[in-house]
């Protein structure tokens, strides 16, 4: 898999920050900044040759949007999906939560196009709306899949992958998917832990509840880093992984570049390997 240039991911985050700045400081479900975020990501995917769809759903009386992008080719009865929620909370621009996962999978998708990848399994990327009110967009997506859910080989979720006081947490829901990420980080001599803070708390839950194999990465939210974790990962013990979680200070400054870089490279590795 290619190395993903973290500068491109950061440039996308700057764009999402600008979108929030121009739209009342947030990119929340039901607000103009959300739809503008969808349009920004979609524009890049269309230009790169993806087939994109914007799927509408109702989220608490407001119109919600999921953005779905398919890469041509591969066995569609074995679709490998990567997803991230694109909405922020109303209180802030949501750059770590979850501009980071959104920009990370965007740059991996663009790398797939650049490499003109010819995967054995079909590849699909999704940006979900209204996660912050209880995974509403991803649930709407899975409901709409119906019987086609048997065609989803695996779903990989990326929600918060650039936390400023970062950890390296790998979802432990499925051993096969967990191993792909663990092996990648082991090669880079980066210690990982099983992800427990987020069980049932992000879009992978919608897929897992439907019986689909799920995996993913997480760099930590409002839990505090322990002494032991600070020894392994650096950063500050006794401080939250993301002290700006769900706050107005979750801006483009609220990112650890190295963590974002490592996590984005891990996504590329996993998608290349799982779709081959």
Known catalytic residues are 131
Q: Is 18 exposed, middle or buried (0-12, 13-18, 19+ CB in 10 A)?
A: middle
Closest CA to 123 of 167, 159, 164, 156: 156
Residues in the chain, overall count:
276
Is the separation of the CB atoms in 132 and 221 below 8 Å? no
Report, in Å, the least distance between residue 122 CB and ligand PHE. 26
**What CA–CA distance (Å, rounded) separates 227 from 220?**
15
221 interacts with, out of Zn ion, ligand PHE, none, CB within 5 to 8 A per kind: ligand PHE
Report, in Å, the least distance between residue 160 CB and Zn ion. 6
Binding segment for Zn ion (CB under 5 A), chosen from 94-102, 170-178, 225-233, 267-275, is 94-102
**Applying CB under 5 A, does 256 fall inside the site for Zn ion?**
no
Q: Which of residues 12, 87, 97, 173 is near Zn ion by CB under 5 A?
A: 97
Report, in Å, the least distance between residue 216 CB and Zn ion. 11
**Applying CB under 5 A, does 153 fall inside the site for Zn ion?**
no
CA dihedral of residues 1, 252, 83, 23 (deg, nearest 10): -140
Q: Which of residues 98, 163, 192, 264 is near Zn ion by CB under 5 A?
A: 98
**What CA–CA distance (Å, rounded) separates 37 from 20?**
9
**Applying CB under 5 A, does 159 fall inside the site for Zn ion?**
yes
Phi, psi of 256 (to 5 degrees): -95, 115
**What CA–CA distance (Å, rounded) separates 107 from 115?**
12
201 interacts with, out of ligand PHE, Zn ion, none, CB within 5 to 8 A per kind: ligand PHE
Which C-beta is closer to ligand PHE: that of 74 or that of 167?
167
Binding site for ligand PHE (CB under 6 A): 97, 131-132, 159-160, 197-198, 201-202, 218, 221
> Which spans of this chain sit near Zn ion (rule: CB under 5 A)?
97-98, 159
């Amino acid at each position: 898999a290619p190395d993903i240039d973290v500068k491109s991911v950061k440039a996308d985050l700057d764009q999402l920050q600008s979108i929030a700045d121009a739209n009342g400081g947030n990119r929340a479900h039901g607000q103009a900044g959300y739809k503008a975020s969808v349009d920004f990501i979609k524009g890049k995917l269309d230009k790169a040759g993806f087939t994109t769809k914007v799927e509408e759903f109702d989220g608490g009386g407001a119109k919600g949007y999921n953005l779905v992008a398919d890469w041509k080719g591969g066995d569609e009865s074995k679709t490998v999906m990567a997803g991230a929620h694109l909405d922020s909370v109303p209180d802030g621009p949501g750059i770590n939560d979850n501009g980071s996962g959104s920009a990370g999978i965007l740059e991996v998708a663009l790398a797939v196009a650049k490499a003109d990848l010819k995967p054995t399994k079909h590849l699909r990327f999704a940006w979900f709306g209204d996660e912050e009110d209880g995974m509403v967009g991803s649930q709407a997506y899975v409901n709409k899949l119906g019987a086609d859910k048997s065609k989803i080989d695996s779903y990989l979720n990326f929600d918060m992958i650039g936390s400023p006081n970062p950890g390296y947490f790998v979802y432990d829901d499925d051993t096969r998917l967990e191993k792909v990420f663990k092996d990648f980080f082991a090669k880079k001599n980066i210690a990982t832990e099983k992800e427990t803070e987020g069980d049932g708390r992000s879009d992978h839950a919608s897929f897992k509840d439907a019986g689909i194999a799920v995996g993913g990465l997480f760099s930590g939210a409002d839990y505090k880093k322990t002494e032991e974790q600070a020894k392994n990962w650096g950063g500050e013990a006794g401080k939250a992984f993301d002290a700006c979680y769900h706050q107005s200070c979750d801006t483009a400054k609220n990112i650890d570049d190295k963590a974002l870089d490592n996590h984005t490279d891990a996504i590329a590795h996993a998608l290349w390997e799982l779709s081959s």
